[in-house]
Amino acid sequence: MTVAAEVRTHLARYVGPLLPIVGAVAVGFGVCGLIALWVGLSPGLMLRQLIKGAVEGPQLFETVARAVPLVGMTLAAAIPLRAGIVNLGADGQLALGGCAAAIVALYLPAPDFVRLAMALTAGMVAGASYAALAAAGEIYAGVPLLLSTWLLTYPAKGLCGYLVRTSLRDPLTAWPSTARIAVGARLGSLIPGTPVNRGFLLIAGIAIAVIFIDRRSSIGFELRLRGLNERFARYGGVALHRQTLGIMIASGAIAGLVGAIMVLGSQFRYTDGALTAPQYSWSGTLAALLAGGEPVGSVIAAVLFAALQTGGFAMERSVEIPRVLTMVLQSVVILFLAMRGAIWKRP
Amino acid sequence: MIDIVKRYPGVLANDHVNIALERGEIHALMGENGAGKSTLMSILYGLQSPDEGYIRLKGSTLFLKSPLDAIANGIGMVHQAFKLFESLSVWENVVYRREPRRGIFIDGARARAQVEELARRHGLPIDPKARVANLPVGVRQRLEILKALYREAQVLILDEPTAVLTPAEVSTLFTVMKSLAAAGCTILLVTHKLNEVMAVSDRITVLRDGRVSERLVTAETGPDEIVRAMTGHHVTMQIPKQPRKPGKVKLEAKGLRVEQHGRRVVDDVSLQVSGGEIVGIAGVAGNGQSELIEALMGLIPIAAGTVSLDERDVTHKSVAAHRAGGLSYIAEDRARTATAAAASATDNLVMGFHRTPPIAVKGLLRPKAMRAWARGLIARFDIKIASEDTLVGKLSGGNLQKVVTARELAHNAPVLIAEQPTRGVDVGAIAFIHAELLSERDRGHGILLVSAELSEILALADRILVMYEGRMVAEFARADADEATLGLYMAGGTRV
């Protein structure tokens, strides 16, 4: 193969799929600009404030800090999506993971370092087992994953809420939450003076691992081919049930880890509803959808969403352009991408 | 049709094709896959419009924008997949959109009388009140022809009309075709079956690479000449076969039953495939062959009975377990089951090999080995594809079939289930695939062959089972089988 041809195949393989995403984002900005014009605001000002709010000075670290849980939840959504299945229960797995991490970090009689490691592990195990429960429901009882994952969210959130109102309740606060976790058992700051904690390293490591497995391993091959044609994967000898279980365990473990990182790295206690309030699991699902579950694209989309969200907050504070506009932007981008079946695939 | 040109991106499907149909003749249109038959047909029936050239009918030029225009001009078509309302009756299907009316109501009595009269006139016996869902395939085809005649078709296009028929139904169809032609109807028969063309047609036009390669008068030609015109070279149709040396039983099914919607689609089937033999399952499509194979493979649930591979029970186990037990499988549904259209040729060709060396080492894929593997199979099976990165969804049916056959043969598995392994494949490649199947057999592997082509079964199989309505109704050693006997059992003639 000539060099030119090789470059062309690589472009087609890696850049080609990104074109629709870039197009959709451009259209999204266009639509938001028009809305801004319509209500008498300057689109240029909006864009400038949005970008400044996302990346300028200390705002950059705000974006990075927000990207850590968002990328994590995006990966939790992207792994199943890559195989064409959907985990709608990430919120439940997130809450259980955070709650389990808090319990271990507060009550395990062990040295600080061990407590921290065990707390992180507990978060992953809690999320993974809960997701595995949903997978087992589909495999052995025929309950569709879409339903089981989603419905199992409520008992999980309910259980954690009950615990922090009763036996785990910290009587010193007005909120239904646990006591504060000792400094030694926390995930420390990664860059002093910023909200970026060491959870960044964990999520970055996981993102790299997911991308590597997706691209280079037999497991990743089976995942991708199932997403392209499930019948073919089964015909070809992929053990779908075992795969479903593996997918859900991986997805749930990452969601649980994100819960643990949020509790151990920034909130330092488990407060009822505090993990799910920022709706990382929804933003994560959207980011993963944006890239069709492809991990590199998903991570890029997640970072973009994190930037948009911090930028949106800053824009609202500084020039009183409502943050809702950034949500409109996200929605337009997704809607436009959903149309690509009709628009982009035309010859 | 004069000077028809049709271009698709990268392909010249019809390159200045001229074809003249005379009133009252049966004209066969032949060619290998991708020769441009389908394109030419769809242009004649108004499904596509030509880039250049035009159609003239009885001296006037036609511009067909849709099949409705074609029908209005007396051109009718019987598709390979019938287009009927299954839940309606025969007469309702015939008069649809041209109902005789009384006020705003359909005049049912008159419609039935008209259909009856039409059927009698053309020698197509049919009960106008029967439900289509209850009719056998041959009768449904008769109904399709009636539909076209009711719309006063002067030119009738038949697309591979015998693919789903028993030999007896085929000869009935030929009689009908001849009497229609004698009554002044022109028939364009699109097919790749040589013997049928020889039996029924008056003239033959052969297409190759989008061009007319030969115009023949049937009475003055023979199969060899037609094949040469189709392929451009001479192909031996007969493959020399070694005597069989059957080994021990590799695949065995006992009392197998599959139920779908409360119906026994596979009913008490027992069979054995030993190493070193090819067992053929003959039968008209839709008599439970697909379900039997899917049950053997673990793709659909089994209601009763057992399946064992090398004396190990695999009943109710996953496809993965069947494959691990030494079974490989060329599935009939190549586009939906046997390939992933949105995946590259490489991905499709390494499926099943993606866990073991040289494709993967310690669970990690070797991209260079994957490509080399794919390129090797593409070259060996002469798959016409731009590169190994091309998505297989872009391939023609015959090439897609080669991807599937190449991959499954590469497994070198002790037992191979080959379901329609050469459907849509060109004549040259059929010979190659047949030779590959025979050499699998000679290496001591067992093959279970399902084919709707009796000629394929007769050419390859050592033993022949006949399936009818979910049951095995007959078994023959190859030497005792001939087309007429098999045809009788395929039509449900006698039960054993």
Question: What is the interface pTM, i.e. ipTM, of the complex?
Answer: 0.85
* CB-closest option in A12, A220, A232 to B340: A232
Of residues A75 and A290, the one with the higher pLDDT is: A75
User: Residue A347 above 50 pLDDT?
Assistant: no
Q: Which of B11, B294, B318 to mutate to test the interface with A (most CBs of A within 10 A)?
A: B318
Q: pLDDT tens digit string along B147-199? A: 888 888 889 999 888 877 777 788 888 988 998 899 889 999 988 777 888 88
Rg (CA), chain B: 24
CA distance A225 to chain B (A): 7
pLDDT band of residue B207 (cuts 50, 70, 90) is confident
Are the beta carbons of B354 and A13 separated by less than 8 Å?
A: no
The residue of chain B nearest to residue A241, with distances taken between CA atoms, is B318
Write out chain B residues lying below 8 Å of A222, CB-based.
Answer: 354
Task: Give B364's contacts in chain A (Cβ within 8 Å).
Answer: 216-218
CB pairs under 8 A between A and B: 76
Q: What is the pLDDT of residue A14?
A: 65
Contact call for B354 and A239, based on CB within 8 A = no
What is the pLDDT, as a whole number, of residue A344? Answer: 42
Q: Is A318 an interface residue toward B (CB < 8 Å)?
A: no
How near does any CA of chain A get to the CA of B249, in Å?
Answer: 23
Range in A318-332, B236-250, B480-494 the model is least confident about: B236-250
Predicted confidence at residue A342, as pLDDT, reads: 45
Identify all chain A residues contacting B297, using CB atoms and an 8 Å cutoff: 235
What is the structure's pLDDT at A2?
61
Of A9-18, A24-33, A87-96, the poorest mean pLDDT is in: A9-18
Cα–Cα distance between B16 and B52 in angstroms, integer? 8
A97, B76, B123, B180 from B183: Cα distances, Å: 81, 16, 11, 5
B124: confidence class by pLDDT, cuts 50, 70, 90: confident
Question: What residue of A is the nearest CA neighbor of B318?
Answer: A239
Q: In whole angstroms, what is the distance from residue A101 CA to residue A123 CA?
A: 5
Strands of the B471-477 sheet, one edge to the other: B327-330, B415-419, B446-450, B278-282, B463-468, B471-477
d(CA B22, CA B201): 12
Contact yes or no for B337 and A347 at CB 8 A: no
Q: Which residue of B has its CA nearest to A8?
A: B389
Cβ contact A71:A302 at 8 Å: yes
Residue of B nearest to A226 (CA): B340
pLDDT at B168: 79
Average pLDDT rounded to a whole number, residues B368-383: 94
pLDDT > 70 fraction of chain B, expressed in percent and rounded: 95
The C-alpha of A261 sits at a distance from chain B's nearest C-alpha, in angstroms, of: 30
Band of residue A343 on the pLDDT scale cut at 50, 70, 90: very low
For B423, residues 6+ apart whose C-beta sits below 8 A from its C-beta are B332, B397, B401, B452
Q: What pLDDT was estimated at residue B189?
A: 92
Q: CA nearest B297: which of B279, B318, B276?
A: B318
Q: In chain A, what residues touch B319 (CB-CB under 8 Å)?
A: 234-237
Least confident of B25-29, B159-163, B376-380, B472-476: B159-163
Look over chain A and give the mean of its residue pLDDT values, rounded to a whole number.
89
SS (HEC) of B226-290: HHHHHHCCCCCCCCCCCCCCCCCEEEEEEEEEEEECCEEEEEEEEEEEECCCEEEEECCCCCCHH
pTM of the model: 0.78
pLDDT recorded at residue A107: 94
Asked if B329 has any chain A CB less than 8 Å from its own CB, the reply is yes
Interface contact flag, B319 A229, Cβ < 8 Å: no
Residue B278: its pLDDT value, please? 94
Cβ burial of B70 (10 Å; 0-12, 13-18, 19+) is buried
Measured between CA atoms, the residue of chain A closest to residue B319 is A237
Least CB–CB distance from A225: residue in B329, B347, B365:
B347
Residue from the list B351, B365, B387 with its beta carbon closest to the beta carbon of A217 = B365
> Residue B9: is its pLDDT beyond 60?
no
Q: What is the pLDDT of residue A11?
A: 66
CB B403 within 8 A of CB B349: yes
User: Would the CB atoms of A235 and B329 count as touching at under 8 Å?
Assistant: yes
Averaged pLDDT for residues A61-72? 96
Residues A270, A272, A275, A277, Cα dihedral to 10°: -150
The residues in A 217-256 lying below 8 A from B, measured between CB atoms, are: 217-222, 224-225, 228-229, 231-241
Q: Which of A113-122, A189-198, B107-116, B470-479 has the highest mean pLDDT?
A: A113-122
What's the average model confidence in pLDDT over A100-129? 96
- Residue with more model confidence, B390 or A8: B390
Is A237 in contact with B319 (Cβ distance < 8 A)? yes
Residues in chain B: 496
State yes or no: pLDDT of A65 exceeds 90. yes
User: What is the predicted pLDDT for the residue at B105?
Assistant: 84
| A229 vs B contacts (CB less than 8 Å) | 336, 339-343
B158, HSE (Cβ side, Cα atoms, 13 Å): 33
Residues of A in Cβ contact (< 8 Å) with B316 = none
Q: How far is A138 from chain B (nearest CA, A)?
A: 16
Lowest mean pLDDT among A3-7, A68-72, B8-12, B272-276: B8-12
Nearest chain A residue (CA) to B331: A235
Determine the average pLDDT of the residues in A83-90.
94
Summarize pLDDT for B286-342 with one digit per residue, the tens.
Answer: 788 989 999 999 999 999 999 999 989 999 999 999 999 999 999 988 888 999 999
pLDDT the model gives residue B495:
46
What pLDDT score does A9 carry? 65
Average pLDDT, chain B: 86
| pLDDT tens digits along B328-372 | 999 988 888 999 999 999 999 999 999 999 999 999 999 999 999
The shortest CB-CB distance from B337 to any of A9, A232, A239 is to A232
What is the structure's pLDDT at A238? 94
Interface test with A, best of B8, B11, B294, B364 (most A CBs within 10 A): B364
Residue in A216, A229, A239 closest to B340 by CB: A229
Say whether residue B323 is in contact with chain A using an 8 A CB cutoff: yes
Find residues 19-58 of chain B whose CB sits inside 8 Å of chain A. Answer: none
Do B364 and A217 lie within an 8 Å CB cutoff?
yes
Judge: A222–B354 Cβ closer than 8 Å, yes or no: yes
The alpha helices in B381-482, defined as continuous H runs, are 397-410, 427-442, 454-460
A266 has a pLDDT exceeding 90: yes
Mean pLDDT, range A259-272, rounded to an integer: 96
Highest mean pLDDT among A36-50, A245-259, B34-48, B248-262: A245-259
Q: Do B318 and A217 touch (CB under 8 A)?
A: no
Check residue B496 and give its pLDDT: 42
- What pLDDT, on a 0 to 100 scale, did the predictor assign at position A345? 40
Which of B132-136, B382-386, B461-465 is predicted least confidently?
B132-136
B interface test, pick of A232, A238, A346 with most B CB neighbours within 10 Å: A232
State whether the Cα torsion B26-B29-B30-B32 is positive or negative. Answer: negative
Q: What is the pLDDT of residue B2?
A: 66
- pLDDT of A205 higher than 70: yes
